[in-house]
């Protein structure tokens, strides 16, 4: 059975952020992830992890003005200093939380901007971040995202991400593969995961359509769980979905997997 982490930016929103850690542990999750906890002191978050026996699996490098609609600044020419400062901040939190990897969102391409120029900025930023994070013992990930949910997002496919990783040329840059986003953009999920397993450091899930919990849409998750297990994937799978009728009510998929795992033991 794969290891699942609860994305606290989407799950357990019935609780205040710091109370979501206990709710996740109570529901059976062993790890957590989220966009970021930068509104809280790192020591404060670390205490919640320790209290609830949770592993900090992943969070994002600061991604600009999220409330204002920004979804990353790594491609933006005028924001390089801000991006670099964000990398330093992410390192501070990663060390405090014992987190071994962070994700970098590319951002939304400004209207009329040259994609070649945006990619050049992105590559240089990724080189900087991969080196700095590598020195701190933290892996850097990049994530393709569908343009239905985030119109204009710069990084939208697996091959584009792989090409960027090659251009950066760092041993500390990996792929975050989100099953939901890639089902929308390209499909062919199992083959793509298998072909790129060595480069995939983290997987995320949600069903499609609706971005709800597994079992509510078209994706054959029971097949994928078994398939990913057979491949020998050793990372985490982040539950990053919008609960259809409340978080606890939608966790039947996790309870079924736990029961199956117990029966097989």
Half-sphere exposure of 233 (CA within 13 A, CB side): 28
Which of 143, 166, 186, 194 is flagged as catalytic? 143
Q: Tokens 């060595």 correspond to what residue?
A: 198
What size, in residues, is the chain? 265
Identify whether the C-beta of residue 61 lies closer than 8 Å to the C-beta of residue 86: yes
Instruction: Answer yes or no: 124 catalytic.
Output: no
Which of 33, 119, 213, 240 is flagged as catalytic? 240
Instruction: Answer yes or no: 14 catalytic.
Output: no
Annotated active-site positions, please?
143, 240
């Amino acid at each position: 059975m794969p290891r699942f982490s609860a994305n606290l930016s989407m799950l357990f929103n019935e609780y205040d952020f710091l109370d979501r850690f206990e709710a996740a542990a109570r529901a059976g999750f062993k790890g957590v992830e989220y966009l970021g906890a930068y509104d809280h002191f790192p020591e404060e978050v670390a205490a919640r992890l320790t209290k609830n026996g949770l592993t900090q699996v992943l969070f994002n490098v600061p991604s600009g003005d999220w409330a204002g609609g920004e979804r990353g600044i790594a491609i933006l020419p005028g924001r390089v200093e801000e991006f670099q400062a964000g990398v330093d901040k992410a390192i501070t939190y990663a060390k405090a939380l014992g987190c071994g990897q962070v994700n970098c969102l590319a951002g939304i391409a400004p209207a009329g901007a040259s994609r070649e120029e945006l990619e050049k900025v992105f590559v240089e930023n990724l080189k900087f971040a991969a080196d700095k994070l590598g020195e701190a013992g933290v892996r850097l990930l990049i994530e393709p995202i569908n343009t239905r949910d985030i119109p204009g997002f710069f990084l939208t496919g697996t091959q584009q991400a792989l090409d960027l990783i090659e251009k950066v040329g760092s041993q500390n840059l990996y792929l975050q593969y989100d099953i939901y986003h890639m089902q929308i953009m390209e499909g062919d999920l199992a083959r793509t995961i298998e072909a790129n397993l060595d480069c995939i450091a983290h997987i995320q899930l949600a069903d499609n359509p609706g971005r709800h919990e597994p079992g509510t849409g078209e994706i054959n998750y029971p097949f994928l769980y078994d398939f990913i297990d057979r491949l020998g994937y050793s990372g985490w799978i982040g539950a990053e979905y919008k609960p259809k009728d409340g978080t606890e009510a939608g966790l039947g998929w996790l309870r079924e997997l736990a029961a199956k795992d117990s029966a097989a033991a």
